[in-house]
Structure 1
Amino acid sequence: MIAMTRRRWLAAAGIATAAAATAWLAACGGFMNEYTFSQSQLQSALERKFPFNKRYMELFDIQLANPQLALDPARNRVTVQFDATIDNRLFFRQPLTGRFALDSALRYDPPSHSLVLQDPEVRQFDVQGMPAQFSRQLNALGGILSEQLLQGYPLYTFKPEQLRLAGAPAEPGTITVLPDGINVKINRP
């Protein structure tokens, strides 16, 4: 009888150990090793970072507002359109308004824990009422806006818990633009 109880105990312990091991392995496999952010999540995160105000060369006051995000999975890039306001009391009687659009690749920026714009390119910079003699300067200003002022601009900032994998620090790796969102793989450093 004692041998039978011991066998049952060993069997029960074996089953419990196997169940615990299975649960542990399932839990390890269940940690997020990627995130997919929907277009609406990214749009909301982007809206919280605007309006964007910048003074350029002590001449122009630039404001970008109302960002609209579009995804370009074929090129693995994003497009962002803004309402633009340019003010320069020296040259214009009143601020000029229009639309500014750029497209950009994305990269992870470790110091800010953010997905940021990488190599943005101007796609549109239309300003209503712009005097013809300033059109060349306006185009140059659009290029400067995208290359200098918006290079590295955060699109999404990760929460600290999103950058942990099985309790260890982790970093985003491959970033893929999808038709309806952005997928980010999480890698152990």
Structure 2
Amino acid sequence: MRHRFIVPPPRRFLLRALLGAAASAPLAALAGFNFFTSEYTATREELQAQIARRFPLQQRYAELFTVALRDPQLGLDAAANRAAITAVLSIASPLLQPGTVEGVVSISSALKYDAPARALRLDQPRAERLELQGVTGRDAERLQRIGALVAQELLRDQPLRTFTAEELTVGRKTYELGDITVQQDSIKVELK
């Protein structure tokens, strides 16, 4: 005699609901640690929230200029395996009329893992585009050079994601991060 397993109707409904929800879950739900595939996936939204907490940033240049960055927006370039940050840039100086010039700067960067700090950081950022409003000629060129230099310095080694020791430990094994891959809407990191 064959035995058939029959799921009672209420459980059958629950099982279908769970399977249907899993099948239709958005890709963002796949973010996080996956110890079966030995990888961690950080979504653009998660990284954007982490970056936004660290802004605004500012730094003085040559004791005459104060360069500030605010309102960062994260971009991901899968083809180049780079992250990009576009931010509002302002340069303030008593030498300027008016005293502050604003614009937009876009910085692209490779990524690296800082093991002692357990942080995924920007590595060697470079200014790709800088546009200032209301300034032309040689003044614009000088201010663009200053703005680009300081923006790169402000973003150098900025953490995109910092991990806790508990996040990287499963049982008795503590993981380190390996290869970093930038994808269209996320960053995937190898766990080793």
TM-score by length of 2: 0.75
Matching residue's letter, 2:144: N
Return the match for 1:181 from 183, 186, 189: 186
Instruction: Find the residue that maps to 2:127 and give its secondary structure.
Output: strand
RMSD: 2.0
Matching residue's letter, 2:114: D
| 1:162/1:33 CA distance change after superposition, 3 Å | farther
Shift of 1:178: 0.9
Q: Aligned partners of 1:30, 1:114: CA distance in 2, in Å?
A: 19
| 1:126/1:161 CA distance change after superposition, 3 Å | same
Shift of 1:147: 4.0
1:14: which partner in 2?
Answer: none
- Where does 1:12-23 land on structure 2 (aligned, <5 Å)? none
Shift of 1:31: 6.6
1:3: which partner in 2?
Answer: none
Moved more, 125-134 or 66-75: 125-134
Q: Aligned partners of 2:60, 2:185: CA distance in 1, in Å?
A: 34
Runs of 4+ in structure 1 off by over 6 angstroms are none
| 1:57/1:87 CA distance change after superposition, 3 Å | same
- Does 2:114 match 1:109? yes
Work out whether residues 115 and 156 of structure 1, in 8 Å CA contact, stay in contact via their aligned partners in 2. yes
Instruction: Find the residue that maps to 2:50 and give its secondary structure.
Output: helix
| 1:30/1:153 CA distance change after superposition, 3 Å | closer
Work out whether residues 101 and 134 of structure 2, in 8 Å CA contact, stay in contact via their aligned partners in 1. yes
Corresponding residue pairs, total: 159
Q: Aligned partners of 1:84, 1:146: CA distance in 2, in Å?
A: 8
Matching residue's letter, 2:109: S
Work out whether residues 31 and 166 of structure 1, in 8 Å CA contact, stay in contact via their aligned partners in 2. no
Shift of 1:113: 2.0
Deviations 1:30-52 (A, max 9, x none): 57832101111111111111111
Gaps (5+ residues) in structure 1?
A: 1-28
Shift of 1:62: 1.3
Deviations 1:110-168 (A, max 9, x none): 23321111121211111111242322222322442244332211122112222324433
Return the match for 2:124 from 116, 119, 124: 119
Q: Aligned partners of 1:103, 1:30: CA distance in 2, in Å?
A: 30
| 1:157/1:30 CA distance change after superposition, 3 Å | closer
Return the match for 2:139 from 91, 116, 134: 134
% same residue: 35
Work out whether residues 74 and 86 of structure 2, in 8 Å CA contact, stay in contact via their aligned partners in 1. yes
- Does 2:94 match 1:89? yes
Deviations 1:159-185 (A, max 9, x none): 222232443333211110011100111
Determine which structure has the larger helix proportion and give its number: 1
2:172: which partner in 1?
Answer: 167
| Structure with max Cα Rg | 1
TM-score by length of 1: 0.76
1:36: which partner in 2?
Answer: 41
